[in-house]
Each structure stands twice: as C-alpha cells, then as structure tokens.
C-alpha cells in the first residue's frame, strides 16, 4: 500500500504526546478530547461509525447499502447457532451473564483469577470447550456470526469496559497501549500514526478512521472479505499493510490491544455488526 502524507502533518505529531504515567481514566479523557477538538463538528457517539463519521461521500454510499446490509444472512445464522443446543443439551446462553443478551459492551473483560483479558470470541470458545465441543477458528466463520448476533443484542448500549484495580489488569492495559503507540513493520508506522495523527486524512484512496469508535461495531462485514471477520482479523490487515507480521488471533498482544482500544471507546454506543470496504 502506498501512503501519501502531507509534510505539515508532522506538526500534528508533536501535538499528541503520550503520557506513560497517566491512569487509564486520564488516558481515555485525553484520547476522546483530542478527537472532539480535532473534529469539533462531530458528536462523540458518531465515531462509532468509523470512517463514515468523517467522509461524507463514502457515507452516502454506505447508507444506501445499509437498506440491505450484506451481513444480514450471517447475522441470522449467528442467532440460529447461538440458540442451537450443544450435544449435552446446554446452550451458549448458559455460559454468559443475562443469558448472553446485551453484554457485548462489557467485553473484553479482565479475568482476575487467570490474570488475562477475555474477549467475547474467547469466551464463546471457552463456552464450547466447557461443554465438550471443539473450539471454532477465531478470525471468521461461525465465531464471527455468533459474535455478530451477540453484538446486535447490545445495539445502542454504551461501551463499558472496566479495568479492575490490580497490577495485572493495569499491565495488560499498558501493554495494549504500548503496542498501539509503537512503530511496527518495514514501513515503520504505529497504529496511532494512522488512526490518531492522520485520522481524517487519506492513505491512498481511503480516509483513515479515528481509533476512537473502532471497536464498537465488530465483527465487520468487509466487501473485500465478502464475509464477516473479527477485530483480530482486522488487526492483521493493518499490520500486513505496514509490512509487519500479523499475530495469532487471541494472542496476549492482540487481546491487550483490544482491551486498550475498547477502553478508549468507553461510553460510545455498540453498533455491530457493520459493513466496511
């Protein structure tokens, strides 16, 4: 991917300094404030629509498509899968609070027993394993459909990721934050370079979305994939674009990155699944 950048964006680079000592709550405030100042005409909740909050032309095409969303069938299949009992007669609902309805906004969560981040997809597979079923592959297929259905039951609920007051939870958050701001790949870009500093500008023909709101609408149906994919699959695409090596889905690094990114979007409405280019 060729990236065209204006020289004056380097001024913006200086404007965003990363405070390594800040608490997650302070980080979130600074993060959200940065975007609301940069895009002062856009309501905070609108960032849940990703690039379509910023790019008017792309938005009208996208809105036209949403009359018949391309993920409709997959979403229905997801509901069916979710409600199909396992061989032992139990259901997915038995593994989750509130029978798995309207809980998407609380994920990823931090499990203080195991000291690890639990994403919704991980919890889905752990539910299967607990019920003597094989785990599903993580990036696409049935797991994305089930996750999409679960997300749809949280439509409009505010992202509500919490960080328990333990050393381990904080360090998982910090690791995610560090990955986000560290440069990767042969092109030597950080996530923040494109989705914070250059957000709203073009990389080739695509407008770059804000990192704020990036987690609210997953899994996403990408026209490029012709299918639903999970957030970790999307992380792969960005890493490949900057010629970095993608990581395993549900690796500690990806989970921590998701934890950080989701926490930054606390308060923004869940609106998944969604469609993207």
Radius of gyration, CA atoms only, the chain: 18
Contact predicate 237/15, CB 8 Å: no
Structure token pair of residue 230: 């999970």
Task: Please indicate whether residue 238 is annotated as part of the active site.
Answer: yes
Residue 49 CB contacts under 8 Å (≥ 6 apart), including other chains: 59, 213, 217, 271, 274
Nearer to ligand HEC, 128 or 232 (CB): 232
Identify the residue among 117, 191, 264, 268 touching ligand HEC (CB under 6 A): 191
Q: Which of 213, 202, 217, 258 is nearest to 235 (CA)?
A: 258
Nearest approach in angstroms of CB 250 to ligand HEC is 15
Instruction: Examine residue 139 and tell whether it contacts ligand HEC (CB under 6 A).
Output: no
Nearer to ligand HEC, 127 or 144 (CB): 144
Nearer to ligand HEC, 169 or 220 (CB): 220
List binders of ligand HEC among 40-79 (CB under 6 A).
50-51
* Count of residues that bind ligand HEC according to CB under 6 A: 22
Q: Which of 48, 54, 37 is nearest to 214 (CA)?
A: 48
Instruction: Examine residue 194 and tell whether it contacts ligand HEC (CB under 6 A).
Output: yes
Nearer to ligand HEC, 47 or 92 (CB): 47
Nearest approach in angstroms of CB 242 to ligand HEC is 5
Instruction: Examine residue 238 and tell whether it contacts ligand HEC (CB under 6 A).
Output: yes
Contact predicate 93/100, CB 8 Å: yes
> Rounded to an integer, what distance in angstroms lies between the CA atom of residue 216 and that of residue 33?
18
Residue with tokens 């012709």: 226
Nearest approach in angstroms of CB 240 to ligand HEC is 10
> Rounded to an integer, what distance in angstroms lies between the CA atom of residue 1 and that of residue 59?
23
Instruction: Examine residue 276 and tell whether it contacts ligand HEC (CB under 6 A).
Output: yes
Provide the CA 108 distance to its chain's centre, in angstroms.
10
Instruction: Examine residue 248 and tell whether it contacts ligand HEC (CB under 6 A).
Output: no
Instruction: Examine residue 120 and tell whether it contacts ligand HEC (CB under 6 A).
Output: no
The residue length of the chain stands at 277
Contact predicate 189/198, CB 8 Å: no
List binders of ligand HEC among 201-230 (CB under 6 A).
203, 206, 208-209, 214, 220
> Rounded to an integer, what distance in angstroms lies between the CA atom of residue 29 and that of residue 27?
5
Nearest approach in angstroms of CB 93 to ligand HEC is 28
Structure token pair of residue 194: 């494109």
Identify the residue among 74, 242, 264, 268 touching ligand HEC (CB under 6 A): 242
Contact set with ligand HEC (CB under 6 A) = 3, 50-51, 189, 191, 193-195, 203, 206, 208-209, 214, 220, 234-235, 238-239, 241-242, 257, 276
Show which residues are catalytic.
Answer: 238
């Amino acid at each position: 991917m060729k990236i065209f950048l204006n020289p004056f964006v380097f001024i913006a680079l200086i404007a965003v300094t990363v405070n390594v000592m800040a608490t997650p709550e302070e980080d979130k405030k600074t993060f959200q404030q940065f975007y609301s100042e940069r895009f002062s005409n856009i309501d905070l909740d609108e960032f849940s629509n990703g690039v379509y909050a910023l790019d008017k032309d792309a938005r009208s095409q996208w809105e036209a498509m949403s009359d018949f969303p391309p993920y409709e069938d997959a979403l229905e299949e997801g509901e069916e899968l979710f409600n199909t009992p396992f061989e032992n007669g139990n259901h997915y609902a038995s593994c989750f609070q509130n029978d798995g309805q309207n809980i998407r906004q609380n994920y990823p969560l931090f499990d203080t027993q195991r000291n690890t981040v639990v994403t919704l997809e991980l919890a889905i597979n752990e539910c299967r394993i607990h019920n003597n079923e094989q785990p599903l592959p993580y990036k696409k297929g049935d797991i994305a459909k089930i996750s999409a259905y679960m997300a749809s039951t949280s439509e409009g609920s505010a992202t509500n990721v919490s960080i328990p007051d333990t050393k381990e939870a904080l360090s998982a958050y910090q690791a995610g934050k560090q990955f986000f701001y560290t440069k990767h790949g042969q092109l030597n870009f950080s996530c923040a370079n494109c989705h914070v500093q250059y957000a709203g500008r073009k990389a080739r023909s695509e407008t770059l979305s804000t990192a704020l709101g990036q987690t609210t609408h997953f899994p996403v149906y990408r026209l490029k994939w012709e299918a639903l994919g999970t957030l970790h699959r999307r992380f792969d695409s960005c890493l490949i674009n900057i010629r970095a090596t993608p990581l395993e889905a549900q690796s500690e690094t990806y989970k921590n990155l998701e934890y950080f990114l989701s926490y930054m979007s606390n308060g923004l409405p869940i609106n998944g699944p969604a469609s993207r280019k």
